[in-house]
Structure 1
Amino acid sequence: MGSSKIGPNSIIQTIRVLQEYYGREKAEQILQAGQSPWQAGKLPAEMVDEDVFLELIHLLRDQLGLDQAKLVLSKAGDYTAEYLLANRIPKPMKWLFPLMPRKMRMKILMTAIGNHAWTFAGSGRFHFHPEPKPMFIIEDCITSRDIVAETPVCSFYSATFEGLLRCLVDSRINVIEKSCRASGQEQCEFFIQFR
């Protein structure tokens, strides 16, 4: 731990939501309880150590409680998906995707995500399984590390993937985390379902 890097959006969007939900002053008070560099008001502009995001997640859970922290992280996942759609998906792909069959769109998107998994999973490992029911797995998922909970806790990833899949594959998609390491499972498993 401590050597893998992830993209800065995990922190940027989480702090954005914290400020939106609680106001800047209260958000700053919450952040003051931790020790990470983003508290100085300087949001990261490049890859960050995954442990910085992990510390922020634990800080939110300690300060807000698990349920509220899940809501904050879910909205941060929504914003991360919006950022990726606006800045990381090539324009030609946005034009071509609607012309492809849904199954092909999902396979192309999830393969591309898998090729860039290091940018969000850090030292965790990402796997996509298209059959029999589409799902993806994150082994050693950052958002479930060092926590025990009765229900899945990886709302950041559920929301990020749901936003990407709804825009590029099918607007009726829901991403549901059915197994989570925080609740005693070996890995975090996310099922891609159609409403």
Structure 2
Amino acid sequence: MSDAVSPVLFRAADRPGPAAVGPGMGEEALGLNTDAPSPHAVHKVGPNAVIQTRLALIDICGAGHARALFSEAGLIDWFDLPPDSMVSAEPVNRLNMTLFWQLESPVFEMLMADAGVRTGRYILENRIPRPVRRLLQKLPVWLAARALLKAIRAHAWTFAGNARVSIAPGHPAIIEIRSNPIAVPGCPWHRGVFEMLFSGILGKPVHVDHSTLFDGQSCDRFMVRWNV
């Protein structure tokens, strides 16, 4: 498969301008990228970081408790009318950390993982054209995984704002987010997103491990493994 497949992997929706998206999806995207975003850039992420968390929270905790938690985070307007376009990462992070502190650890982990899976499923069903999905599902697993990695890197704004995102193919495939603007301990939301995307495209059970590295700034590393 030529690299021409990966640029059309995701449909554009609520997408920022080219300068915010970063480099294209050429071969250079497969190495560890060293370009840092502007320190003055405002992080914006996709609305599903709110929409799917709200839905998962209602299912797990009930609508009343969910609304109270949004209110605690100062985001009652988002509960009553969820956003439908890119949103600032700061209030998303505030919501996530409110949930982290207010919920028991197992509930928080389950909630955020569920919200991540829902987000990944939304992307699969609404942002990856069906013909492209079918094509990728017919490819050797390593080739489909490589194309998906490149698409994730090119569309990283949806889950990482303007943070620096690096990818490396292989098994495990590696995704790194430096100074992740919506990171929470263990990053269960991001793990859920990646697990759903890779399992949906590869047609195999997928497991994503997470570790946090520090080399002057925080770095969330996700290691994606699938049954071979």
Aligned partner (choices 35, 42, 58) of residue 3 of structure 1: 42
Bigger relative contact order (CA 8 A; separation at least 6): 2
Aligned residue pairs, count? 187
The answer for the alignment partner of 2:223 in structure 1 is 191
Distance across 1 between alignment mates of 2:202 and 2:76? 37
Q: CA deviation at 1:194?
A: 2.5
Do the aligned partners of residues 90 and 71 (structure 1) sit closer, same or farther apart at CA in structure 2, a change above 3 Å counting? same
The answer for the alignment partner of 1:76 in structure 2 is 115
Distance across 2 between alignment mates of 1:96 and 1:107? 14
Distance across 2 between alignment mates of 1:58 and 1:122? 17
Do the aligned partners of residues 2 and 14 (structure 1) sit closer, same or farther apart at CA in structure 2, a change above 3 Å counting? farther
Which residue identity does 1:154 align to in structure 2? C
The answer for the alignment partner of 2:173 in structure 1 is 134
Q: CA deviation at 1:99?
A: 2.0
The answer for the alignment partner of 2:23 in structure 1 is none
Contact 1:38 1:44 in 2 (8 A): no
Contact 2:49 2:92 in 1 (8 A): yes
The answer for the alignment partner of 2:69 in structure 1 is 30
Structure 1 residue runs of 5 or longer lacking an equivalent are 146-151
The answer for the alignment partner of 2:199 in structure 1 is 166
Do the aligned partners of residues 15 and 181 (structure 1) sit closer, same or farther apart at CA in structure 2, a change above 3 Å counting? farther
Which residue identity does 1:194 align to in structure 2? W
| Residues 154-193 of structure 1: CA deviation (Å, up to 9, x unaligned) | 010111000010010241221111x1259x9841111111
Contact 1:10 1:53 in 2 (8 A): yes
Name the SS of the counterpart of 1:193 in structure 2: strand
TM-score normalised according to structure 2 size: 0.75
Contact 2:178 2:217 in 1 (8 A): no
Which residue identity does 2:99 align to in structure 1? L
Distance across 2 between alignment mates of 1:31 and 1:133? 36
How does 1:53-92 map onto structure 2 within 5 Å?
53-92=92-131
| Residues 40-99 of structure 1: CA deviation (Å, up to 9, x unaligned) | 501001110011210111110121144422221110001001100110001221121122
The answer for the alignment partner of 2:56 in structure 1 is 17
Q: CA deviation at 1:39?
A: 4.5
Q: Could you say which structure has the higher helix fraction?
A: 1
Distance across 1 between alignment mates of 2:117 and 2:92? 17
Which residue identity does 1:11 align to in structure 2? V
The answer for the alignment partner of 1:117 in structure 2 is 156
TM-score normalised according to structure 1 size: 0.87
The answer for the alignment partner of 2:139 in structure 1 is 100
Name the SS of the counterpart of 2:175 in structure 1: strand
Name the SS of the counterpart of 2:84 in structure 1: coil
Distance across 1 between alignment mates of 2:205 and 2:146? 17
Identity %: 28
Name the SS of the counterpart of 1:144 in structure 2: coil
Name the SS of the counterpart of 2:186 in structure 1: coil
